[in-house]
Structure 1
Amino acid sequence: MSGFIQQIINGLSIGSVYALMAVGYSLVYSIMNFSNFAHGGIIMFGAYFGFFFMTLYKFPFSVAFIASGICAALMAILVERVAYKPLRDRRAPFLYFIISAMGVSIFLENIIIATIGPTFRTYPEVFSAQPIKIGNLAIGRIDLTMFIISAVFLVLLIYLIDHTKIGKAIQATSFNMKASALMGINTDFIILLVFGLGGFLAGLAGVLFGMKYTVYPQIGNITLKSFIAAVFGGLGSLQGAVIGSVLLGIIETITSGYISSQYRDLIAFVLLIFILVVRPMGLMGKVTEDKA
């Protein structure tokens, strides 16, 4: 029984980081009606920002962590201005946005390879490797930190969306952008804000993921898991993205612990296919005809 609980704890840790990534997907999807596949590039840059802030500039972890989120947010806004706004101005089909997002993702990955190099880099030790023992359970300090930090920022985001004026403006814009503009909401600013929020959380997720594992140009590929989690929970639903991410993290760790780690990625994509076939809107999503 203790082994099962241990897997649940590990799943909550990685699932919480998936959630930070997945809510960025859901935020952009709810406003722009397309899946932002460039999100992985922002996560990658967040991981590199944190690494260089802590090693090159010797920033303490807390400063490097927040600074990485801010830099990633600015990069996400830049991507929106350069890659997506011209398409919005021309009222291009959603397929064009997806193609542009894929192009941006490939560009960001390769610019890191060309300038910094493909070398794997390891964060300096911030938290002790000695786990916290509770009976037969061992909780890694980095895992506990990942869960607490992710939970705090996700709660703050949900509070912002549900209980503030700017959050109501985001909800209104996601429901009907044209009507929101007619009611006086600056939809262009809301789009920038959504990309900034998604980029900030992606940067934080990149730092946490890089600390637990390593930093390398393809680290943004992990965003495929967050995309699966967002689809699982329901694209466009923040609560669904969080629930889907946590469940995916638990399913992956249980698969690794009781079957084989080789099936960890396989089970994620099997889950994606199953959800798309059985319940395409996800656990908490709504049926839509115009989003792709």
Structure 2
Amino acid sequence: MTQFLQQLINGLSIGSVYALMAVGYSLVYSIMKFSNFAHGGVIMFGAYFGYFFLTKYNLPFALAFLFAALCTAIVAVIIERTAYKPLRDRKAPFLYFIICAMGASIFMENIIIAIPSIGPTFRTYPPVLDKTPFTLGSISIGRLDALMFVISAICLLLLVYLIDHTKIGKAIQATSYNIKASALMGINTDFIIIAIFALGGFFAGIAGVLFGMKYTVYPQIGVITNKSFIAAVFGGLGSLPGAVIGSVLLGIIETFTSGYISSQYRDLIAFVLLIGVLVVKPSGLMGKTTEDKA
């Protein structure tokens, strides 16, 4: 029973960070109907921003954390303005958006490698938290794992409030339902698209810092978004509650696989889950059936 609870806690921790990444996918997909594969590059930038704000500029952790998230929000908006907006203006097919997103992701990864002062070197965050874990009986909870869960939960609750109880949130809901009708009703859909990219980028920056703290920082760290994409598909692309539920379930499934079977099967189980969902229920747990699941 102790091992079960320990793995459950670990799964909730990692799943909550997956959720921060997955909501970025879902926000973009809900309005633009394509999967933003450049999201991984934004997360990678967040990990590096947090690292350099802490080490090079010696900022307090809270400020470094906030500045990293704000910087990645700006990066996400720049990607939308330079890469996706010209395609939207030309009414390009959605396949072009996917190809452009993959190109943007590769570009961001390689630009980091090409910068002499950064390069492909693995970097480790300086100690921020005491490594002594919390203990509840025989259960051990790492301080970083607790921080990851708490920060993710707060961010997701704030996002839910923003979407359900603010004017811009209502505009996002309307635009996701029908972007053309929303524009005819006076909603500035171009601004709404900027807003969802900024929100997705902000959460990507938070996730990047948390992952960088837990593991290491390197140019390919954005590949972790493959897991968040699986979680978004599992929960239902375009559905924020689905993205959160899918992420938490994926985190729990992965940790139980590592704890009870083998860590070698962790990634295998995730991709088997993706294939299974696409075959059995392509819309995911809470998503709507659409023609494209790009």
TM category (shorter chain) comes to over 0.9
Which of 228, 253, 260 in structure 1 is aligned with 2:230? 228
User: 1:118 and 1:89, CA in 2 relative to 1: closer, same or farther beyond 3 A?
Assistant: same
Could you say which residue in structure 1 is the equivalent of 2:56? 56
**2: CA distance between counterparts of 1:27 and 1:147?**
21
State the secondary structure of the residue aligned to 2:35.
coil
Could you say which residue in structure 2 is the equivalent of 1:131? 133
State the secondary structure of the residue aligned to 2:7.
helix
TM-score by length of 2: 0.99
**2: CA distance between counterparts of 1:179 and 1:254?**
45
The alpha carbon displacement at 1:165 in A equals 1.0
Q: Deviation per CA, 1:52-104: give whole Å up to 9, x if none.
A: 00000001110000100000000000000010000000000000000000000
The alpha carbon displacement at 1:32 in A equals 0.5
**1: CA distance between counterparts of 2:203 and 2:80?**
16
State the secondary structure of the residue aligned to 1:121.
coil
**1: CA distance between counterparts of 2:276 and 2:210?**
29
Could you say which residue in structure 2 is the equivalent of 1:96? 96
**1: CA distance between counterparts of 2:245 and 2:57?**
37
Counting matched residue pairs gives 292
The alpha carbon displacement at 1:290 in A equals 4.4
**Stretches of 4+ aligned residues off by more than 6 angstroms:** none
State the secondary structure of the residue aligned to 2:176.
helix
The answer as to 2:5 corresponding to 1:26 is: no
Q: Deviation per CA, 1:137-175: give whole Å up to 9, x if none.
A: 000000000000000000000110011111010010011
State the secondary structure of the residue aligned to 1:138.
strand
Q: Deviation per CA, 1:212-268: give whole Å up to 9, x if none.
A: 000000000000000000000000000000000000000000000000000000000
Correspondence list, 1:34-183, <5 A: 34-115=34-115, 116-183=118-185
**2: CA distance between counterparts of 1:13 and 1:81?**
34
> For residue 7 of structure 2, what is the amino acid of its counterpart?
Q
* Unmatched segments (≥5 aa) in structure 2: none
**2: CA distance between counterparts of 1:279 and 1:231?**
10
Could you say which residue in structure 2 is the equivalent of 1:199? 201
State the secondary structure of the residue aligned to 2:37.
coil
**1: CA distance between counterparts of 2:165 and 2:282?**
29
Q: What is the aligned-residue identity percentage?
A: 77
> For residue 71 of structure 1, what is the amino acid of its counterpart?
C
State the secondary structure of the residue aligned to 2:92.
coil
Could you say which residue in structure 2 is the equivalent of 1:289? 291
> For residue 274 of structure 1, what is the amino acid of its counterpart?
G
State the secondary structure of the residue aligned to 1:68.
helix
User: 1:209 and 1:110, CA in 2 relative to 1: closer, same or farther beyond 3 A?
Assistant: same
**2: CA distance between counterparts of 1:282 and 1:158?**
20
